[in-house]
Amino acid sequence: MTPPERILYRTLTLTWPFYAIGALYVVGPVLGWSLAGLAVLSLFLGPAMKPEWQAVSPPVIFGIWFGSMLGMLVVLWIGHFNYDIGTGATIKSSIGWAKGWALFFIFVFIGAAFRIRPEIMCRAQCIIGLHTLILLPLFILAPKIGLPEKLFTSPFKAVGGPGPEYFSVYLYTIDPSNGASRWQFYTPWSPFAALVGVMIVVCALEERNKFWRRCGLIGGLAFVLMTKSRMGIMGLVICTASPRLLPLIAKSWAWFALGGIAAAMAVIGDRVLTGMLDAKDAFRSARADSTRVRDALQSIAGERWRTEAPWFGHATVEPGAHVTEYMLIGTHHTWYGLLFVKGAVGAAFFAIPMIWTLLSMMKLTIGRKEARLGLGLILALLLFSFGENMEVQIYILWPAFVIIGSLAQRAASHHGSGNRASPARTGGAVA
């Protein structure tokens, strides 16, 4: 491994120890800005840097993310100015931007500039899977033998963040709707852990070593199943199957098969549609209370965005009423949250790089088998963005953006060198 790869690898494999001291929310931003600073220094000094620290200019995808996230900062300032929120709050929110939105382009930049091998990141995710399996007996037994849900809240909360739950260590939680145990692992809440589990499974599928692949797959599945997340189950199917099916569009037999399916649908289409609608109703009723609260939050956020602040939003989230169980308006949904807080302009600044990344990974996947990893990850992020706030989760989701930046850089280098890959930078699985 090169030094940047080793730093990322070690940091990721220490996820559980960092969580045990409540430091994960701090580690992500410190890691991102530190390595990004070194990459900028390397680009400036060029050959003066040691070969293992030398960086390369990032591809276009970095420019898209950088420009869009910089636009987010400008929208934040405009919103604070419009509502006369004050200089102190604006500075605090700008620091929040540096710990949130800015990390999207920071980690894309790191992955691309240092040409981080995706194989390294996949192995690290599988090691997290093994650590999770080792801890599973404790998590499962904890509610049965009367251990507390929350162990403690770390002093790291003094650095500031969205809430104390980001610095707290939990063994399990109790679902208020049915009193059943539910696990959130090293994330602040269960649905977020389901997203992490899907990402671990997507990475594990690309691991070549059988032992580590099994650790990643079983550990990732534990995340999804034990969080009891409906979105997690859906994500497992979509994010693992779609990248493998997409290359088939280049094969003629796939088009003939699609024609046969279309003809069959003309006969059984009504029954299939009825079944899909029934499945949708069952999906929504699986956790009816959660669905009701989310629907209320989205409805209020959408209505207030359209009528009060359509372009630059309300600048901050706001307390909800009893109908939303006092959840903050502008949360629980990346897109409604962006519309409420940053308006149509802010939502566009996130939609553009997300769509660009999705289309880029789709294009790469058709011709390059390795790119299906990036497509699976961006599909997971896009799917969960309809139920989660990506901004406050980037401190854990950063490996996905390192991989996306790396794959984009590898594709750009491959194209620029006349389809000749560099043997020194296209190594296989970690030894």
Q: Is residue 431 a part of any domain in this protein? A: no
Q: Is residue 391 part of a domain?
A: yes
Share of the chain above pLDDT 70, in %: 82
The confidence band for 431, taking pLDDT boundaries of 50, 70 and 90, is very low
Domain assignment present for 244? yes
User: What distance in Å separates the CA atoms of residue 6 and residue 23, rounded to the nearest whole number?
Assistant: 20
Residue 4 has a pLDDT of: 96
Residue, of 387 and 249, whose pLDDT is higher: 387
Overall average pLDDT of the 324-333 stretch: 63
DSSP string, 267-290: HHHHHHHHHHHHHHHHHHHTTHHH
What pLDDT score was predicted for residue 270? 53
Confidence band for 424, pLDDT divided at 50, 70 and 90: very low
| Whole-angstrom distance, CA of residue 213 vs CA of residue 204 | 5
pLDDT at res. 46? 81
**Among 420, 292, 411, CA closest to 362:** 411
Residue 237 domain-assigned (yes or no): yes
- What single-letter DSSP state applies at residue 329? B
Residue 430 belongs to some domain of the structure: no
Supply the range of the domain harboring residue 326: 3-416
428 within a domain of the structure (yes/no): no
What is the number of structural domains in the chain?
A: 1
Alpha-carbon Rg for the chain in angstroms: 22
* Distance between CA atoms of residues 294 and 333, nearest Å: 8
Residue 427, in any domain of the structure: no
Give the pLDDT band (50/70/90) at residue 272.
Answer: very low
Highest mean pLDDT among 40-49, 194-203, 282-291: 194-203
**CA dist list (Å): 190 to 173, 225, 230, 307:** 9, 10, 11, 33
Please tell me what DSSP assigns to residue 148: -
Of 263, 324, 320, 317, nearest in space to 289 by CA: 324
Q: How far is CA 284 from CA 280, 295, 330, in A?
A: 6, 11, 21
Of the candidate ranges 233-237, 249-253, 417-421, the one whose mean pLDDT is the lowest: 417-421
Residue 246 lies in a domain: yes
The predicted model scores a pTM of: 0.87
Q: Write out the DSSP string of 173-214.
A: EE-TTT--EE--TTSSSHHHHHHHHHHHHHHHTT--SHHHHH
